[in-house]
Structure formats: C-alpha cells, structure tokens
Amino acid sequence: MATNITWHPSLSRDERTQLRHQAGLTIWLTGLSASGKSTIATALEQHLLHQGLNAYRLDGDNIRFGLNKNLGFSQDDRVENIRRIGEVAKLFADSCTIAVTSFISPYRADRDLARTLHSETAQGSIDKPIPFIEVWIDCPVEECEKRDPKGLYKKAREGIIKDFTGISAPYEEPLKPELHIRSDKESTEESVARITKYLVENGYIPSAGKTSS
C-alpha cells in the first residue's frame, strides 16, 4: 500500500517549479477606484488559466470578507491590510501560482513593503527572491468619477465617505512601476495583452503557453 512514495525532508522552490512546469510570481495592480483594476485582473487571470497556467486573483471579494474581515480603516489597519495581502500573494507565488492582486493600495510605502516581502527569503533557504511586478492602472480621476459604477465618488463628494482616494485622500503614483497602463486609452484586452507580453519577454511564462484543453 505504501509503495511508490518518494520524498525528502524539504522541497526547494526550484524543485517545485520543475514539477509544476511553472514559476510563480506576483502581479500587483494599483490604481484608483473605478480605474479598471478588477476588470483587468479578472481578464488576466482567465487568460493565464486558458494558457494552462495556474493564476489566482486576490481582491476585495475574497480578502475583505475573509482573511481581513477583522480590519477597519485606521492607519494601522490600512498598513496591516496591504501587508497581509502581500504575504498571501507571496505564498501563492511560492506555490508556483501567478498571484494577481487588485487593490487600490494608494500609498507607496505599503506597496514597497509588499515588494520587499517578496525579496526576502527564509534564512538558510536556497530559494531566489520572488518576482514582484507592479502594474499601475492609470486613469484620470475625472474619468473614474464619470464612470463611478458604485456611486462611491458621489458619496465622497457629498462627504458621506471620508478619506476617499483621489478625492479626499491622496493616491501616491508609482514612481517606477514595471508597467504603466492608461486604462482610459487602452481596452481591457489590450491591457491584458501588454501584461502578458511583459511576462513572456521577461521569461516568466512560456511564449505560446501550454494548451490545457
């Protein structure tokens, strides 16, 4: 019954990558509310899955009401929110999945913390740092406010929502994002194609993709 089970005390990420035929990484989307982050993240996730790669999206839907449901809107909680998302994305990337995060993440320091976590490896580990790709989903606030699919900008203007990014709280633009997408000028499909092209050109995914079905 116990035949054919081979294992050794630890498993390096390189070995896992060989077994999974895929390397993990984190694609960190940042941008204003209604800039199109979630739409692009959803389309990107599906495009990668269709290529036979494992990808998983972390966003408000599966994080806010789960892992981070005990966090509020204080400064400390805001930092902890992004820290936890960074740590979980890192775990997914370590498991050879492409983690796609979709959060406003308006502060440079928070995004830089998430990036730094990815560059840290356990003491004594032979694993290399995990790639962290920051993608700025850039859409002028006027355009976001015009879209306003959830009526949040309206509430922010009326003062019903306080500290709303782009209206009454700052959005600190990325200084050196790996990719800068103008989502008011590029379609969702074009945005996904640009991100995919970047991944191929940097050797993160195969050029043709594997056919999964």
* Closest-CA residue to 179 (of 42, 29, 23): 29
Whether 16 and 95 have beta carbons less than 8 Å apart is answered as yes
DSSP letter, residue 39: H
* Binding status of residue 61 toward its own copies by CB under 8 A: yes
Instruction: Tell which one of 30, 33, 97, 102 touches its own copies (CB under 8 A).
Output: 97
* Closest-CA residue to 24 (of 181, 205, 209, 172): 205
* Binding status of residue 124 toward its own copies by CB under 8 A: no
* Binding status of residue 182 toward its own copies by CB under 8 A: no
Least CB distance from residue 22 to its own copies, whole Å?
Answer: 9
How does strand 55-59 pair with strand 179-182? unpaired
Is 105 one of the catalytic residues? yes
Computed on alpha carbons and rounded to an integer, the radius of gyration of the chain in Å comes to: 19
Q: Which of 105, 119, 125, 187 is catalytic?
A: 105
Q: What are the backbone angles phi and psi of residue 103, rounded to the nearest 5°?
A: -140, 150
Instruction: Tell which one of 133, 144, 156, 192 touches its own copies (CB under 8 A).
Output: 192
* Binding status of residue 193 toward its own copies by CB under 8 A: yes
Task: Please report, as a single letter, which amino acid is at residue 174.
Answer: P
Instruction: Tell which one of 72, 77, 91, 116 touches its own copies (CB under 8 A).
Output: 91
Burial profile 127-143: b = 16 or more Cβ within 10 angstroms, e = fewer: eeebbbbbbbbbbebee
* Binding status of residue 185 toward its own copies by CB under 8 A: no
* Binding status of residue 168 toward its own copies by CB under 8 A: no
Nearest to its own copies of 47, 157 (CB atom):
47
The C-alpha atoms of residue 98 and residue 48 are separated, in whole angstroms, by 9
H or E element that contains 26: strand 25-30
Q: What amino acid positions are annotated as catalytic residues?
A: 105
**What is the contact surface with its own copies in residues (CB under 8 A)?**
1-3, 5-11, 16, 18-21, 39, 42-43, 45-47, 49-50, 54, 56, 58, 61-62, 65-67, 70, 80, 84, 87-88, 90-92, 94-97, 117, 122, 187-190, 192-194, 197, 212-213
